Amino acid sequence: MSDATVLTPGELAARARRIVRDQNTWRGSQTLNLIASENLVSPGVAELTVSDFSHRYAEGEVGKRYYEGTRYVDEVEDLCEKTFNRMFGSEYSNVKPLSGAQANLAVFMGLAKPGDDVASLDVPNGGHISYREFGAAGCRGLTVNNIPFNPAEFTVDTEGLAQLLQSKKKTLRVVTLGGSLILFPHPVREVSRLVSEYFPEGDVVVHYDAAHVFGLIAGGRFQDPFSEGAKVVSSSTHKTFPGPQGGVVLAKSLDAKKTSDIRKAVFPGLVSNHHLHRLPALLYAAAEMMEFGSAYADQTIRNAKRLAKSLHDHGFKVVGESRGFTESHQVAFDSSDMGGGSRTSSLLASANIITNKNLLPGEPLKNSRDPSGIRIGVQEVTRIGMKEAEMDSIAELFHELLHLHADASAVAAKALKLRQEFPRIHFTFT
């Protein structure tokens, strides 16, 4: 990399353009992107991301701004909020958070005070860093308790959770389900029943982090957290939901004070101006999901199941075999016998197959730099039109590279050829 201190302003500007061009070419059209937390936006979403909204401020709520000149911001934000309520059956929505992690922090700020207890899955069991002691929950000064987990079944240990609820009856405020590695629906109904039993006054809220499966929920192909008893759902808007990067908080059957506290946590607590250029693009993406979401989610899950089975048939140690490998967009396998997650993900990247290393259940957190697992998401390759046959082809590329030790450049050439057979984005108006 060149030292920026020796480049002229003109050279820096040219470099910026070149970097974007190279990124668009390589990641955008030459690699098989299997990162579980990414997606492609449609041309319509991309077009609406750049506009006069990019330069403007709109502090405050719809119709109650601290700036003039916000009538069109009010219109698009109001449409976003009402559209999300319509899609997810919520009664309150807030599209101001700039990320899923910030949305989680808003939930913790609104529902708990420093020193309170919260419960969530540990990172190796699928929990996200934002609701752990070293993430957003810790920033709020909360005491984080591990939700007991059954790694053999890849699900919450509800009996163990009942014991935890009993032991924290005076201090617990939030139970967070959902996660970063989420292969199967979580037992939201059972957990909600337990929380109601131990906290009949409603002091504890079941919160569901839908960041990874938000698009699958929108498409009606994953669990519906609200109908199963969750009262707050937070999410990012750019994983299985193919919108611009950002976050959202939704609520249903939550008392007015708690809802107001979450709203105040977002603004003025965490967000001043909420990057208005996202809103028209987010509305467009929501419209796409209303029109095409069921078909997209259905194909995504079929692809994930097929890839998992094909990898398993090629001898990979795919997680979740006893439950059919996956019910989401994700697939995970143990790469310990290939040198671990760091080596495996790096080798795959050298062949233009982009994945990420990932902790697996039962693994110590200290292994996060070099975990045993590989996490895969098929939502992006599904969006460009790949189906079950292509999942078999991808599994074959994994097998050639990781088991047969084929030359990475040869596998990269095959990956490029496969990728370029799918030049356009599907499930969109444009």
User: Is 261 in contact with 186 (CB distance < 8 Å)?
Assistant: no
User: Is 32 in contact with 379 (CB distance < 8 Å)?
Assistant: no
Res 62 pLDDT > 70 = yes
Mean pLDDT, range 88-100, rounded to an integer = 98
User: Is 373 in contact with 358 (CB distance < 8 Å)?
Assistant: yes
Res 355 pLDDT > 90 = yes
Please provide the CATH number assigned to the domain covering 293-420: 3.90.1150.10
CA distance 372 to 338: 9
| Number of alpha helices (DSSP H) and beta strands (DSSP E) in the chain | 14, 17
Res 3 pLDDT > 90 = no
Q: What is the pLDDT of residue 5?
A: 86
Residue ranges of the chain that CATH labels 3.90.1150.10: 293-420
Residue ranges of the chain that CATH labels 3.40.640.10: 48-283
The SS3 call for residue 262 is helix
Mean pLDDT, range 402-415, rounded to an integer = 98
Res 426 pLDDT > 80 = yes
Q: What is the pLDDT of residue 185?
A: 98
DSSP conformation class of 399: I
Q: What is the pLDDT of residue 209?
A: 98
Question: Which residues are 146's β-sheet partners?
Answer: 120
Res 132 pLDDT > 80 = yes
pLDDT band at residue 375 using 50, 70 and 90 as cut-offs: very high
Mean pLDDT of the chain: 97
- Biggest CA–CA distance in the chain, Å, is 66
Alpha helices in 145-277 (DSSP H): 158-167, 188-198, 214-218, 256-264
Mean pLDDT, range 174-194, rounded to an integer = 97
Q: What is the pLDDT of residue 303?
A: 98
Tokens of 294: 């069921």
Q: CB-based burial of residue 1 (10 Å sphere; 0-12 exposed, 13-18 middle, 19+ buried)?
A: exposed
In the chain, pLDDT over 90 holds for what percent of residues?
97
pLDDT band at residue 63 using 50, 70 and 90 as cut-offs: very high
Question: Using one digit for the tens of pLDDT, what is the confidence trace for 215-226?
Answer: 999 999 999 999
In the chain, pLDDT over 70 holds for what percent of residues?
100
CA distance 21 to 377: 25
Question: Which residues are 236's β-sheet partners?
Answer: 247
pLDDT band at residue 152 using 50, 70 and 90 as cut-offs: confident
Taking alpha carbons only, the member of 306, 199, 205, 293 closest to residue 249 is: 205
Mean pLDDT, range 247-273, rounded to an integer = 97
Q: What is the pLDDT of residue 1?
A: 58
Question: Using one digit for the tens of pLDDT, what is the confidence trace for 301-345?
Answer: 999 999 999 999 999 999 999 999 999 999 999 999 999 999 999
Res 168 pLDDT > 80 = yes
pLDDT band at residue 12 using 50, 70 and 90 as cut-offs: very high
User: Is 196 in contact with 219 (CB distance < 8 Å)?
Assistant: no
Taking alpha carbons only, the member of 335, 353, 352, 334 closest to residue 344 is: 335
Question: Using one digit for the tens of pLDDT, what is the confidence trace for 17-53?
Answer: 999 999 999 999 999 999 999 999 999 999 999 999 9
Question: Using one digit for the tens of pLDDT, what is the confidence trace for 120-131?
Answer: 999 999 999 999
0.95 surpassed by pTM: yes
* Annotation: CATH topology of 48-283: Aspartate Aminotransferase; domain 2 (3.40.640)
Q: How many residues does the chain have?
A: 430
